[in-house]
Chains A and B, each alone.
Chain A
């Protein structure tokens, strides 16, 4: 129950609910459903980027390449080799994760700018391989008639709405994984690395292994997104693996908010919508969107969800300090109940042993707030 009182979770659930209901509004419009479903596929890949960039603070520019590997694995295996979608999807995702892990072994020896550019080179090598290895990938003629997922006679995935829900359910799992990582000690470890690698190292975090796993996880999500994308669109070309694809993902995550749970989804949906709005001037959309990216990084680096989160925290902090004071005052009159107002919060087990003095409690509440929110505040501090 307590989780439902957290405005962040309510917000995330509201976003998911709105997206879950889109087929009710656009169910008959195949084009719109397809655009939204492609958006969800991208969002899954963006969740991968969120783990390596948002949580761990490493700018990986190989995500478009991983997306392409996932897409081509499904595309080629279901057409040229006549595998079923699920087999191909499984092999694609496992393969992408393995390639991610192996390239991470070398890539993560480098740091910062070196890492960013090195991963960009990995992405570009993947793109070159796909666009030039004609014998296997058909190069620029692409792959046609990628299979829809099979489901016996139960569901027909050639129906855009059915496909939408399949992608949506997988996206839900990805959102939950992100949420679980964010809450767990793994998430805190990654955030520590983002704040300071030296610090993380000094307090006994295995920085190399953590980054390695985060990078493999980002490839894993990229592979899932790409594999689904191939099936949703039915046709794939080398475009699916370009470095520009990575840059697109980067814009999605930036608009939504790096390191947040809902950010990648919100950002992807909003920017996809903007892209569609500028559809008529496809090529020129970046005359507007380019400066928007720059302005966002300069003036709003936390993204939409990051800002909403900050706003929620500010209010929560005010309320908590207020109630803690009241609570403390009540205790000093000897009428307070054990736990007090703090039990409302699910993260305060430690607080049960807290001092009954009102001001200390307020201080503790605030400290707790700050540690829990390194993710939103440390961007400002930098």
Chain B
């Protein structure tokens, strides 16, 4: 039972990380209609930039994440402007190929700057908390709390603030939104920047638990795609439910069956769900 509680908390913490990563990706899909395959490499860069500010520059942990998030926001905007914007009228295969090019580029840059070796980010938050007999590391509590706070802020931003509402408007009807004076190009940049910002927060939070490497984004990339496909591309509730469901399934199968199954469970679930419902669980009626 103690093991179960422990793993449940680990699963929820992991779910928080997936959620921050998946929300950005699904937003980008909703607005740009692009599955941004470079998302995992943005996560990786976010982790390294956080590491750089924390270890090399020496600013406090929270500030390091904040600065990294802002830098990645700018990078996301640039990615939209330089790569996806010129391709807005191309067949959908071309975006994906360009995103793959960007992904390789980011990985090579990270490797050139920080090397291919694994790096460890020192845990700035130490200690652990006892809940129901299980020992939960403080870092995981921080992840869960931050994820909830960030998600609430994001929901407020999209539902209540004027800039956030433009995102939803574009998602619903690009032409209609443009007619009422919303600039789709601006919103696209904002969305990609926002997704990079969110994924950097996720990376900064989880890095003290995991190791850093230029390819650390690859498996996250695939899992997050599995999540948003599962939830239905472009659906926010789908992404949230999918994140926590898959993360808990992953930690549980890793604990009780084997780590290899744990790693594959996201895809097994994905195959099973798409075999039954090819457009995901929470599919919106997506305009094409």
Q: Which of B96, B107, B263, B270 contacts A118 (CB 8 A)?
A: B270
Greatest chain B CB density within 10 A among A120, A125, A284, A294 is at A294
- Within the complex, which residue of B29, B96, B222, B264 is in contact with A116, where a contact is CB–CB below 8 Å? B96
| In the complex, chain A residues whose CB is within 8 Å of the CB of B89 | 382
A118 touches B97 (CB 8 A): no
A289 CA / B270 CA spacing, docked (Å): 32
Residue of B nearest to A106 (CB): B275
Residues of B within 8 A of A133 (CB): 260
Chain B binder among A76-84, A107-115, A154-162, A222-230: A107-115
Q: Digit string of B25-59 for contact with A (CB within 8 Å is 1, else 0)?
A: 00001000001000000000000000000000000
Question: A118 CA to B280 CA in the complex, in Å?
Answer: 11
Residue of B nearest to A108 (CB): B278
Contact B233 A114 (CB under 8 A): yes
> Taking the nearest CB of chain A, how far is it from the CB of B222, in angstroms?
5
Whether B267 pairs with A125 at a CB distance below 8 angstroms is yes
Does A290 interact with chain B (Cβ within 8 Å)?
Answer: yes
Residue of B nearest to A378 (CB): B91
Q: Let me know if A117 and B225 touch, CB within 8 A.
A: yes
Within residues 103 to 162 of chain B, which ones have a CB less than 8 A from any CB in chain A?
A: 103-109, 111-112, 116
- Among residues of B, the one whose C-beta sits closest to the C-beta of A290 is B105
Partner of B97, one of A57, A121, A125, A297: A297
Contact flag A114-B229 (CB < 8 Å), given A59-B96, A293-B98: yes
Whether A25 is near chain B, meaning CB under 8 Å from some CB there, is no
Nearest-neighbor residue (CB-CB) of B106 within chain A = A290
Kindly identify which residue among B91, B101, B218, B233 contacts A291, using a CB–CB cutoff of 8 Å. Answer: B101
Contact in complex: A283, B278 (CB < 8 Å)? no
- Chain B residue nearest to A129 (CB atoms) is B264
* Interchain nearest-CB distance for B197 vs A (Å): 22
Q: Is the CB of A287 within 8 A of B109?
A: yes
Q: How far is the CA of A117 from the CA of B222 in the complex (A)?
A: 8
Contact yes or no, B111 A297, CB < 8 A = no
How many chain A residues touch the partner (CB < 8 A)? 43
State the Cβ distance, B194 to closest chain A Cβ, in Å. 20
Cβ 8 A contact of B116, one of A243, A283, A292 = A283
Looking at A132, A243, A247, A297, which has the most chain B CB atoms within 10 Å of its CB?
A297
Given the known inter-chain contacts A293-B100, A294-B83, please indicate yes or no for A243 contacting B278, CB distance below 8 A: no
Residue of B at shortest CB range from A301? B94
A116 lies within 8 A of B35 (CB): yes
A223-260 interface bits toward B, Cβ cutoff 8 Å, 1 = contact, 0 = none: 00000000000000000000100010011001000000
A125 with B91: CB separation less than 8 A: no
A294 CA to B225 CA in the complex, in Å? 21
Whether a CB of chain A sits under 8 angstroms from the CB of B268 is: yes
Provide the residues of chain A in CB contact with B202, threshold 8 Å.
none
Interface residues of A in 289-344 (CB under 8 A from B): 289-294, 297-298, 301
Q: Cβ of A298 and Cβ of B274 under 8 Å apart?
A: no
Q: How many angstroms from the CA of A124 to the CA of B92 in the assembled complex?
A: 22
CB distance from A1 to the nearest CB of B (A): 37
Give the CA-CA distance A77 to B29 in the complex, in Å: 43
B271/A120 in contact, CB under 8 A: no
B104–A254 touching, CB < 8 Å? no
C-alpha spacing A110/B106, complex, angstroms: 30
Q: Say yes or no: A106 contacts B91, CB within 8 Å.
A: no
- The CA of A124 and the CA of B102, in the complex, are separated in Å by 20
- Asked whether, in the complex, the Cβ of A114 is within 8 Å of the Cβ of B279, the reply is yes
**Nearest chain A CB to B85 CB, angstrom units:** 10
Q: Find chain B residues with CB under 8 A from A297 CB.
A: 87, 90, 94, 97-98, 101
**Interface residue? B86 (CB, 8 A):** yes
B218 contacts across to A, CB distance below 8 A: 243
Please, which residues of chain B bring their CB within 8 A of the CB of A293?
Answer: 97-98, 100-101, 104
Q: List the 5 shortest-distance A-B pairs measured between CB atoms, nearest first.
A: A290-B105, A293-B101, A286-B108, A286-B104, A132-B260
18 residue pairs of the A-B complex, CB under 8 angstroms, read A114-B274, A114-B278, A116-B96, A118-B274, A120-B222, A121-B222, A128-B260, A128-B264, A132-B264, A243-B222, A284-B112, A286-B105, A290-B102, A292-B101, A293-B98, A293-B100, A294-B102, A382-B90
15 extra interchain contacts, Cβ-Cβ under 8 A, other than A116-B35, A287-B109, A294-B98? Answer: A53-B93, A57-B93, A59-B97, A106-B275, A118-B274, A128-B263, A243-B222, A284-B111, A284-B112, A290-B105, A293-B101, A294-B83, A294-B101, A297-B101, A301-B94
